[in-house]
């Protein structure tokens, strides 16, 4: 880019900072934030609840990109609000670094963040780009362009070395070998991120009972004194006579008017976990989750939230945690027999096929889980297999199925795209 005029003509402008030159949308305006080197925010936000923004900041480096990435992850996890880290991936465009995607919820607004972390000299540079979850898919390409074309200090490659002689960060040996660069271990995040607490945890069948008594002021003593009846009364959802309360009517309202129905099923050997979202035209959604095994049915969890918060709860319920994913040439076009894959999903002992690539070979000995994410009464969805914390897209083909390793950000964006394709049918 030659000058500011060229940038403006192309819809971009240059924002000179003490650290370098940011290339930002021409219509975005400068702002301030404590401890930030530069802040740029949209002058015309896409939603009334959150104004998309970009924040450039710098802190002392931990001595290497891998250590700086882990430090950025740790800082995100220690936030004072609920957060969930969805993805971490190598960022090779422009400065070499990392791109972390995470969610946080504050004041009933769910924010999606793309955070680009670079190591340069004795500084860790963070470019933090935030948007309302509902607009993140459309804004991510803009955030990527800002990170790729801004003139920030060149990254210093010090893979795995420590400036101060401190202990080296834990690396993912398999991913490091596959990608050809030092990649930090993300194993500590697997299954350790806490989901938001549900509004209600009730005995199995409680929602059905609440629905069946929604228009009744008096129910039988047997129904009122059942485990579900007692729990509903104690939760303030039914009166002493078993009739539904105002709180109960708020819970079941999305069921009565739902125009958007999203569901996910996780099925492994001996257990089925179900997650459902029913969203009304006003955007309020009922979220329900429950698991069933050969031995018992768990209590059901219920929450009334906005649709973006429901999607965030799906991400946490899956859970979708960051991992390193790569496609192995050995398995790229390999067709697996469906009977073999289904036996593996049932938990049967299935010998490893010959000449598996390192990605599938690493996951073959793990327990497999079938993950289906889709819309009610629709074939539109994501057919996935989860193994060893990683996700594979299962593509039906002649003679069986292809297994395609997909990065966690691909799964996340696939869910947002699925929601976006169906939101126009009524949910806002």
Per-residue pLDDT tens digits for 296-326 = 899 999 999 999 999 999 999 999 999 998 7
Determine contact, residues 304/288, Cβ cutoff 8 Å.
no
Least confident of 138-142, 174-178, 345-349: 174-178
Kindly state the average pLDDT of the residues 341-363: 88
Mean pLDDT of the chain: 89
Residues 68-101, buried b or exposed e (16+ Cβ, 10 A)?
A: bbbbbbeebbeeeebbbbbbbbbbeebbbbbbbb
In this predicted structure, the answer to whether residue 160 has a pLDDT above a threshold of 60 is no
- For residue 418, give every residue at least 6 positions away whose Cβ sits within 8 Å of its Cβ, in sequence order, or none: 262, 373, 374, 375, 380, 381, 382
**pLDDT at residue number 161:** 44
Nearest residue to 151 via CA among 4, 353, 369: 4
Higher local confidence (pLDDT), 155 or 303: 303
- Give residue-wise pLDDT tens across range 368-419: 999 999 998 788 899 999 998 999 999 999 999 999 889 999 999 999 999 9
- For residue 217, give every residue at least 6 positions away whose Cβ sits within 8 Å of its Cβ, in sequence order, or none: 239, 241, 243
Kindly state the average pLDDT of the residues 18-32: 94
Q: What is the pTM (predicted TM-score) of this model?
A: 0.91
**pLDDT at residue number 163:** 43
- Give residue-wise pLDDT tens across range 252-283: 999 999 999 999 999 998 899 999 999 999 98
Read off the tokens for 289. Answer: 């989750």
Report the run of H or E that residue 264 belongs to, with start and end.
strand 260-268
Rounded alpha-carbon distances, angstroms, from residue 175 to 31, 87, 305, 390, 404 = 39, 15, 38, 12, 16
Read off the tokens for 58. Answer: 């710098």
Residues forming a β-bridge with 90: 98
**pLDDT at residue number 33:** 85
């Amino acid at each position: 880019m030659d000058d500011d005029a060229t940038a403006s003509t192309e819809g971009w402008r240059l924002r000179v900072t003490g650290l370098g030159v940011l290339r930002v949308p021409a219509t975005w305006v400068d702002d301030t934030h404590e401890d930030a080197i530069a802040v740029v925010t949209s002058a015309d936000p896409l939603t009334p609840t959150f104004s998309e923004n970009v924040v450039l900041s710098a802190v002392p480096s931990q001595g290497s990109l891998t250590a700086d990435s882990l430090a950025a992850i740790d800082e995100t996890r220690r936030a004072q609000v609920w957060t969930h880290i969805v993805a971490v991936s190598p960022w090779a465009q422009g400065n070499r670094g990392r791109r972390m995607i995470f969610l946080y919820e504050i004041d009933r607004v769910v924010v999606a963040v793309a955070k680009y972390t670079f190591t340069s000299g004795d500084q860790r540079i963070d470019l933090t780009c935030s948007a309302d979850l509902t607009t993140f898919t459309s804004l991510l390409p803009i955030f990527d362009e800002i990170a790729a074309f801004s003139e920030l200090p060149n990254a210093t490659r010090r893979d795995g070395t420590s400036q101060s002689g401190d202990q080296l960060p834990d690396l993912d040996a398999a991913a490091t070998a596959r990608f050809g660069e030092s990649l930090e271990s993300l194993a500590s995040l697997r299954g350790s991120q806490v989901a938001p607490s549900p509004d209600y945890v009730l005995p199995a069948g409680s929602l059905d009972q609440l629905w069946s008594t929604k228009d009744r002021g008096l129910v039988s003593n047997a129904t009122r004194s059942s485990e579900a009846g007692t729990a509903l009364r104690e939760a303030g959802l039914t009166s002493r006579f078993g009739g539904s309360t105002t709180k109960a009517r708020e819970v079941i309202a999305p069921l009565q008017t739902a125009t958007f129905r999203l569901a996910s099923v996780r099925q492994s050997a001996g257990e089925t976990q179900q997650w459902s979202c029913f969203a009304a035209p006003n955007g309020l959604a009922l979220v329900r989750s429950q698991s069933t095994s050969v031995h018992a049915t768990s209590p059901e969890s219920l929450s009334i939230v906005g649709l973006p918060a429901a999607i965030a709860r799906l991400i946490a319920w899956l859970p979708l945690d960051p991992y390193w994913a790569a496609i192995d040439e050995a398995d790229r076009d390999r067709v697996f027999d469906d009977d073999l894959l289904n036996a593996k999903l049932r938990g049967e002992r299935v010998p490893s096929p010959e000449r598996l690539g390192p990605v599938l070979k690493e996951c073959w000995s793990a327990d497999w889980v079938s993950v289906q994410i889709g819309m009610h009464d629709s074939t539109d969805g994501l057919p996935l297999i989860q193994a060893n914390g990683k996700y594979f897209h299962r593509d039906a083909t002649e003679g069986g199925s292809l297994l395609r390793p997909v990065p966690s950000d691909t799964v996340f964006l696939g869910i947002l795209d699925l929601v976006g394709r169906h939101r126009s049918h009524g949910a806002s």
